[in-house]
Amino acid sequence: MSSILGVLFNLLTFPGLVLNGFVQNYYVQRYSVPVERLDADALENLDDDELEERLDGVDASLDADESGEVVVDFYGIDDYRSAFVVTLVPFFVCSMVAFATFVLAVPLLEGEVRLWWLPFWLGLAVGAHTFPNAVATDALWQQSRSTGSPLRFVGYPVVAVSKVVNALRFLWIDLVYALVLFIAAKALIGALVF
């Protein structure tokens, strides 16, 4: 996805970015995931190789006060259960919120209510930002390979799909996932009505 289209897509689907970020930050704080604040001025002085080395294996996002970047070290999570929760629970929570919003949108759409597009747009926005990012996915993949936890049987498939989604983001695959959630909600409502 080109950078201009990506920015436009993120602007149009900002509720999904906000919800996903909120849920992710909640679990990062709850499970004491290692974070570090980086000075924005110091980052600007690094060349590309130094910057890549400094941010290798971490997820950086601009903090609310914009005084620097907050770096989440997903590789620094010690136990598999915490890594699983911090990486995948936001995916499940956001998927459920998107699905529930679509369930609300379907009767409005079929009832020709004028504001049907509002819950549809919210479901689409949330559904398009459910998958974990590449850094979190890679960290969980590494931990899944080295753990004996039965949670890995859930982690492996979701992480594998997330890796594919991250590789195919240029094809708007996140939007396709949101549309699949809409189709599932429509099928559920259709099954309940008849």
Residue percentage of the chain with pLDDT more than 90: 42
Question: Tokens for 81?
Answer: 């259960």
Tell me, what amino acid is at 175?
L
CB 188 within 8 A of CB 103: yes
Any bridge partners for residue 71, and if so which?
36, 60
Over residues 32-56, the mean pLDDT reads 63
CA 83 to CA 77: how far, in whole Å?
6
Over residues 55-65, the mean pLDDT reads 48
Highest average pLDDT, of 8-12, 81-85, 94-98, comes from: 94-98
CB 160 within 8 A of CB 89: no
CA 15 to CA 28: how far, in whole Å?
20
Question: What is the pLDDT, as a whole number, of residue 52?
Answer: 54
Point out the least confidently predicted range of 20-29, 49-58, 140-149: 49-58
Task: Name the residue ranges covered by the structural domains of the chain.
Answer: 3-31+77-193, 35-72
pLDDT in tens, 165-186: 888 877 688 899 999 999 999 9
Count Cα neighbours of 69 within 13 Å in the Cβ-side half-sphere: 16
Over residues 117-131, the mean pLDDT reads 94
Residue percentage of the chain with pLDDT more than 70: 80
Q: What's the predicted TM-score (pTM) here? A: 0.80
CB 181 within 8 A of CB 102: yes
